[in-house]
Amino acid sequence: MGEINIKQLASELNLSAATVSRALRDSHEISAETKARVMEMAKKLNYEPNPFASSLRHQKSNTIAVIVPEVANNFFSLAIKGIEEVARAKDHHVLIYQTHESGELESSFMTRLLSGRVDGVLISPASHVASKDYFQKVSEKIPMVFFDRDHDDIEGVKITTDDYESAYSATQHLLEAGCKRIGFLAALDTLTTGKKRMQGYIDALKDNGLTAEPELIVTQCENNEPCRSKIRYFIARQKPDGILSSIEELALPCYYVCKELNLNIPKDLKVITYSNLSHAELLNPSLSTINQPAFEIGTEAATILFKMFSKRWYDPNITISLKSNIIKRESTQA
């Protein structure tokens, strides 16, 4: 009977084409029994899903886009590796875009994506955002998954980590190491991610009978020379005895500043940071880190994206949170 299509398959099974289609897509609306019948018949008749599937948008480019703030960041390069592993198994290419935290670039990339260049998007949004309309526009057209970072006023599928809990634990660790005056280097404060990290820090202090003094919270730090000056000014003036850095890029300037100010880490100042730096252990002193499961975030986000392609994912608004891991090293030794 030549190449078989859904309609013929349905007729053989005495089912509607819609039912067969949904069964083949593993829809929850179809019973397991019916699915088994459909699969069996599809196999028997050598039904090839491609001719049908090729009309779906996701068959057009076999490419997915990953939008990240910086590829040079160890967290993102690891997450991208996780994404690539899943994509390779599905025979998809991975395009990478860097926003350098610019919402303008992000918007421009995303708008371009609507032209059908890619089948889906995995995004860790930029922190400098003017309007957020493009998220909505893109997600209406193609499947999109947020990973690591997100905006709480935007709905969608989100794979994050336990930002609140990990910041709370890291602050607790500094307190237990003897710190009494803990500074917080804030970042990503326009994003849920950054807000949760700061709240974890504030609450841990509070639960230990301390107050998060505004002068101990350093905001609007950028990863460049002004940032180092700001941190130098902060350390010299506020004399914190501990620092929780909310991103990797702000921790290493603390090392340089301590050298300049002749301060000893960990004796004079203890430092812990969110980071996936592969050689934190080789620094002088070795650096205590909050390690996010970067690779796993990548594989999880990509796996869900591919489920969205094949319509096997039904929850358009879900946040899945993975657990981070605190690695205590010399920089926070009591």
Positions touching a copy of itself (CB under 8 A) are 63, 70-72, 74, 77-78, 80, 84, 93-98, 100, 108-109, 112, 117, 252, 255-256, 278-279, 282-286
Instruction: State the minimum distance, in angstroms, from the CB of residue 293 to a copy of itself.
Output: 17
Instruction: State the minimum distance, in angstroms, from the CB of residue 273 to a copy of itself.
Output: 13
In the complex with a copy of itself, the residue whose CB is nearer, 98 or 291, is 98
Burial 148-162 (b: 16+ CB within 10 A, else e): bbbbeeeebbbbbbb
Instruction: State the minimum distance, in angstroms, from the CB of residue 125 to a copy of itself.
Output: 17
In the complex with a copy of itself, the residue whose CB is nearer, 19 or 276, is 276
Instruction: State the minimum distance, in angstroms, from the CB of residue 331 to a copy of itself.
Output: 11
In the complex with a copy of itself, the residue whose CB is nearer, 212 or 277, is 277
Place of tokens 């620092």: 243
Phi, psi of 51 (to 5 degrees): -55, -35
Within 10 Å of residue 176's Cβ, how many Cβ atoms? 11
**DSSP letters spanning 252-276:** HHHHHHHHHTTPPTTTT-EEEEE--
In the complex with a copy of itself, the residue whose CB is nearer, 9 or 272, is 272
In the complex with a copy of itself, the residue whose CB is nearer, 54 or 284, is 284
Quote the crossing angle between the two packed helices 32-44 and 17-24, to the nearest 10°: 90
Instruction: State the minimum distance, in angstroms, from the CB of residue 25 to a copy of itself.
Output: 26
Torsion, CA 202, CA 233, CA 224, CA 124, rounded to 10:
10
Type of residue found at 286 = S
Phi, psi of 94 (to 5 degrees): -120, 120
Please state, in angstroms and rounded to a whole number, the distance separating the CA atoms of residues 244 and 129. 25
Instruction: State the minimum distance, in angstroms, from the CB of residue 269 to a copy of itself.
Output: 15
Please state, in angstroms and rounded to a whole number, the distance separating the CA atoms of residues 69 and 235. 27
In the complex with a copy of itself, the residue whose CB is nearer, 8 or 333, is 333
